[in-house]
Amino acid sequence: MKSKVYIETFGCQMNVADTERAATGLRKAGYELTASAETADVVLFNTCSVRERAEQKVITRIGEVRNGTQRSGKQLKPLIGVMGCVAQLEGDSIFKNAPAVDLVIGTRATDRLPSLIERARKGESSVIDLGERQEGEFWDVSPAERRSPYVAFVPIIEGCNKFCSFCIVPYSRGREKSRSAVEIVAEVQGLRLLGYKEVHLIGQNVNSYRPQSRQGLERYSGATAFSRLLRAVADTGMERIKFTTSFPRDFHPDIVAALEEYPNLCDWIHLPVQSGSDRILKAMRRGHSADDYLRRVDAIRGSKRRLSLTSDIIVGFPGESENDFEDTMRLVRACEYDGLFIFKYSKRAGTPAAILEDAVLETDKTARFLELEELQSSLQNRIYNDYIGRTVSVLVERESTRSSEDMTGHSTCHKVVNFRSHQTKPGEIVDVLISQAKPYSLYGKLMSEGAN
Ligand code: 5AD
Ligand code: SF4
Task: Give residue 164 CA to ligand 1 midpoint distance, Å.
Answer: 10
Q: Is the CB of 286 under 6 A from ligand 2?
A: no
Residue range 143-152, pLDDT digits in tens: 889 999 999 9
pLDDT score, position 57: 85
**C-beta of 164 in contact with ligand 2 (< 6 A):** yes
Q: Is 54 in the pocket of ligand 1 (CB under 6 A)?
A: no
In this prediction, residue 59 carries a pLDDT of: 84
Mean pLDDT of 216-231: 96
Distance 245 CA to ligand 1 centre (A): 13
The predicted structure's pLDDT at residue 449: 62
Q: What is the 3-state secondary structure (H, E, C) of the chain?
A: CCCEEEEEECCCHHHHHHHHHHHHHHHHCCCEECCCHHHCCEEEEEECCCCHHHHHHHHHHHHHHHHHHHHCCCCCCCEEEEEEHHHHHHCCHHHHHCCCCCEEECCCCHHHHHHHHHHHHCCCCCEEECCCCCCCCCCCCCHHHCCCCCEEEEECEECCCCCCCCCCHHHHHCCCEECCHHHHHHHHHHHHHCCCCEEEEECCCHHHCCCCCCCCCCCCCCCCHHHHHHHHHHCCCCCEEEEECCCHHHCCCHHHHHHHHCCCECCEEECCCECCCHHHHHHCCCCCCHHHHHHHHHHHHCCCCCCEEEEEEEECCCCCCHHHHHHHHHHHHHHCCCEEEEEECCCCCCCHHHHCCCCCCHHHHHHHHHHHHHHHHHHHHHHHHCCCCCEEEEEEEEECCCCCCEEEEEECCCCEEEEECCCCCCCCEEEEEEEEECCCEEEEEECCCCEC
256-260 mean pLDDT: 98
Confidence tier at 403 by pLDDT (50, 70, 90): confident
Choice from 88, 161, 164 to test ligand 2 binding pocket (greatest atom count within 8 A of CB) = 164
Label residue 134 by pLDDT band (50, 70, 90): confident
Least confident of 41-55, 164-178, 209-223, 226-240: 41-55
Percent of the chain scoring above 70 in pLDDT: 97
229 Cα to the center of ligand 2, angstroms? 22
Summarize the confidence of residues 439-452 as an average pLDDT.
83
Which residues make beta-bridge pairs with 127?
103
pLDDT, tens digit, for every residue of 64-77?
888 876 656 565 68
157 in contact with ligand 2, CB cutoff 6 A: no
Res 246: pLDDT: 98
Average pLDDT over residues 415-432: 95
Ranges 57-71, 94-108, 262-276: which has the least confidence: 57-71
- Binding site membership of 271 for ligand 2 (Cβ less than 6 Å): no
- At 423 the pLDDT is 87
pLDDT of residue 100 exceeding 60, the answer is yes
Atom 7 of ligand 1: nearest residue by CA position = 167
Q: How far is the CA of 270 from the centre of ligand 1 (A)?
A: 14
Say if ligand 1 is within 6 A of residue 348 CB: yes
The pLDDT of residue 143 is 87
Q: Give the tens place of pLDDT for each residue, 275-320.
A: 999 999 999 999 999 999 999 999 999 999 999 999 999 999 999 9
For range 154-180, the mean pLDDT: 96
C-beta of 162 in contact with ligand 2 (< 6 A): yes
- Contact, 282 vs 317, CB < 8 A? no
- Mean pLDDT of the region 340-355: 97
Average pLDDT over residues 318-337: 98
Query: Considering the chain, what is the average pLDDT of its residues?
Result: 94
Q: What is the pLDDT of residue 450?
A: 54
